[in-house]
Amino acid sequence: MKRRFLGIDEGLQRLHLIDTATQDFIWTLDLKDYPLARDMQRLDEERVLVGYDHGYFELEWRTGRVLADCRRWKDVTAAHRRADGNTLVTGMNLDGRNGVNVLTLSPNGELLHTAYREGDYVRLMRVTPQGTYLLCTNDHIKETTPELVELRRFSAPGFEHAWKAERMADGSTIVSAGYGAFMAVFDGEGRLARRFGAAGEVPQAVAPFFYATYAFTPDGQLLVANWQGHGPENGHKGAQLLQFDKDGQLVDSWSAPQRISSLQGLLLV
């Protein structure tokens, strides 16, 4: 596998820039000051946005240097920079009402809008090309308006702590199933079209445990982080980074068990 990516090792709370072709860890950032970093977004040629428990920070991805830090909350699970420069911050109880929130902040950090709905779990949030939100809410995905009014939901047997959902160019929606340890694709009508990558469909050594963040390569293949558990010494339990072709067949994998305990976040650079 020849990929260069930013990888969040949740088990050891570290963020690395990794080149799989050379096995080089180009830099490492200790995340002790940025706990529970989960979400990453490429902003431009130099900067990446990283969401973590207390907010988000901007990173110079080539060097690992933190450029700016916005920390105001607890239980932030996702951060997304919009094209207009505003930032969407998703999490639990961010406004004190004990539910799910998506906050809109201006480029200078001013709170512009608070969206709220009842709920007790949310992970990564993605904005669709239609302007709706995809919220991972444990055993299903909610598609909502920007006010968090539910429009429809996506679910499949085995979803548990579903991690990330993304709308595809053809109108389908792809989801990583969390502890279900498979990938699911729903058609434009919201019906489950296919699933792949589960135990029994990949070599036993892969040890699917928790499918977390994923990313598409320029040629349309899919990279998936196969998280293996909290804390240290999980690196030998299974393959950490999986590569599936367009048909959902596993074609490659990569691990660095001596350096990574449990890969969760993934961003190709």
Spell out the per-residue pLDDT of the chain, length 269, in tens. 999 999 999 999 999 999 999 999 999 999 999 999 999 999 999 999 999 999 999 999 999 999 999 999 999 999 999 999 999 999 999 999 999 999 999 999 999 999 999 999 999 999 999 999 999 999 999 999 999 999 999 999 999 999 999 999 999 999 999 999 999 999 999 999 999 999 999 999 999 999 999 999 999 999 999 999 999 999 999 999 999 999 999 999 999 999 999 999 999 99
Domain hosting 66: range is: 4-268
Fill in the amino acid letter for 219.
D
Cα–chain-centroid distance for residue 229?
A: 16
Number of structural domains in the chain:
1
In sequence order, the β-bridge partners of residue 29 are 15
In 3D, which of 223, 200, 221, 220 has the Cα closest to residue 211?
A: 223
In sequence order, the β-bridge partners of residue 37 are none
Query: Distance between CA 236 and CA 233 in Å, rounded?
Result: 7
- Do 165 and 144 contact (CB within 8 A), yes or no? no
**What Cα–Cα distance (Å) separates residue 140 from each residue in 25, 78, 143, 181?**
35, 17, 10, 14
What CATH number is attached to the domain comprising 166? 2.120.10.30
